[in-house]
């Protein structure tokens, strides 16, 4: 027992922390595969700076600032890079060979899909299944539906509110853009002309929004036992049916 207390003396603790910090710095500067990728020094040695901006909701500003300073590819964390250039993003998104971060695998209450899977085989299968719908001819045929459920509906809602108000109005971008996206997906995926923005039918959109919020919470704060999520999802699914 005395030997344990001897190890926990302030001097020993300081030496241990100093050795760990020196190892992280040496590894980041000379050993890490990302050592030649530009980026902030503190982001190379610790994930805390990125966590700080995440918790403050300032990740987009952080990404934009680093992109302007270091270029389209830069270090975000000791084992993570940010990709902001259009051509680089196209390269990453066009191939199933780039695996998503492990945090995507934490979402257990949604079945594996193209957006969350880390499996190259499933990613490749889903790409083949939807590839035809993303051809230029198919996209041109879908354009009227996308515009009708999307930006045209949104502009109609804003114009109506401005006409009724007679003065500047306050716009809620988060909810209205998510509702617009939901309407577009319903129109394309299910053949339903859903207009949650102009009809103010928010029931389905609210379910989708809450599911998305739960997904992001589970990504950021993984819960080892998924009994709560499973019960919640099964109950909600039964209620919707």
pLDDT digits 0-9 by tens, 208-238: 778 777 777 776 666 554 555 555 555 555 5
- Asked, for residue 66, whether it belongs to a domain, the answer is yes
Q: Are 84 and 38 a contacting pair, CB within 8 Å? A: no
- Asked, for residue 140, whether it belongs to a domain, the answer is yes
Residues 225 and 166 reside in one and the same domain: yes
Tens-place pLDDT, residues 114-140: 777 888 888 888 888 888 887 888 889
- Asked, for residue 9, whether it belongs to a domain, the answer is no
Residues 75 and 166 reside in one and the same domain: no
Tally the residues of the chain.
241
Residues 88 and 157 reside in one and the same domain: no
- Asked, for residue 127, whether it belongs to a domain, the answer is no
Q: At CB < 8 A and 24+ separation, what contacts does 32-35 make?
A: 32/78, 34/75, 34/78, 34/79, 34/81
Residues 140 and 79 reside in one and the same domain: no
Residues 88 and 156 reside in one and the same domain: no
Tens-place pLDDT, residues 26-60: 999 999 999 999 999 999 999 999 989 988 888 88
Listed residue (51, 52, 50, 78) closest to 63, CA to CA: 50
Q: Which residues contact 48 (CB under 8 A, 6 or more apart)?
A: 42
Q: How far apart are CA 98 and CA 125, in angstroms?
A: 15
Residues 207 and 154 reside in one and the same domain: yes
pLDDT band at 4 (very low <50, low <70, confident <90, very high): low
Angle between helices 227-240 and 203-220 (to 10 degrees): 170
- Supply the pLDDT for residue 225: 46
Listed residue (109, 101, 89, 98) closest to 228, CA to CA: 109
Residues 83 and 148 reside in one and the same domain: no
Average pLDDT in the chain: 81
Residues 55 and 151 reside in one and the same domain: no
Q: How far apart are CA 18 and CA 15, in angstroms?
A: 5
Encoding tokens for residue 84?
């902001």
- Asked, for residue 202, whether it belongs to a domain, the answer is yes
Residue-number span of the structural domain to which 65 is assigned? 36-94
- Asked, for residue 11, whether it belongs to a domain, the answer is no
Residues 180 and 234 reside in one and the same domain: yes
State yes or no: pLDDT of 165 exceeds 60. Answer: yes
Residues 136 and 236 reside in one and the same domain: yes
- Asked, for residue 61, whether it belongs to a domain, the answer is yes
- Asked, for residue 99, whether it belongs to a domain, the answer is no
Domain count, the chain: 2
Residues 172 and 234 reside in one and the same domain: yes
- Supply the pLDDT for residue 26: 92
């Amino acid at each position: 027992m005395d030997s344990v207390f001897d190890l926990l003396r302030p001097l020993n603790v300081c030496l241990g922390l100093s050795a760990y910090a020196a190892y992280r710095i040496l590894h980041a500067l000379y050993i890490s595969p990302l050592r030649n990728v530009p980026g902030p020094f503190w982001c190379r040695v610790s994930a805390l700076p990125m966590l700080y901006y995440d918790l403050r909701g300032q990740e987009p500003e952080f990404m934009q600032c680093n992109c302007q300073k270091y270029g389209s590819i830069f270090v975000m964390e000791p084992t993570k890079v940010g990709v902001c250039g259009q051509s680089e993003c196209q390269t990453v998104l066009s191939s199933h060979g780039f695996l998503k971060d492990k945090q995507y695998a934490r979402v257990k209450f949604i079945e594996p899909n193209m957006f969350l899977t880390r499996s190259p085989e499933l990613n490749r299968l889903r790409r083949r299944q939807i590839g035809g719908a993303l051809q230029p001819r198919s996209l041109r045929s879908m354009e009227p539906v996308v515009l009708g459920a999307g930006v045209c509906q949104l502009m109609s809602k804003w114009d109506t509110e401005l006409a009724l108000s007679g003065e500047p109005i306050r716009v809620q971008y988060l909810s209205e853009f998510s509702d617009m996206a939901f309407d577009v997906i319903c129109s394309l995926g299910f053949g339903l002309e859903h207009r949650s923005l102009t009809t103010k039918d928010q029931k389905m959109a609210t379910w989708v929004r809450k599911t998305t919020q739960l997904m992001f919470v589970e990504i950021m704060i993984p819960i080892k036992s998924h009994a709560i999520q499973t019960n919640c999802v099964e109950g909600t699914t039964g209620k919707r049916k």
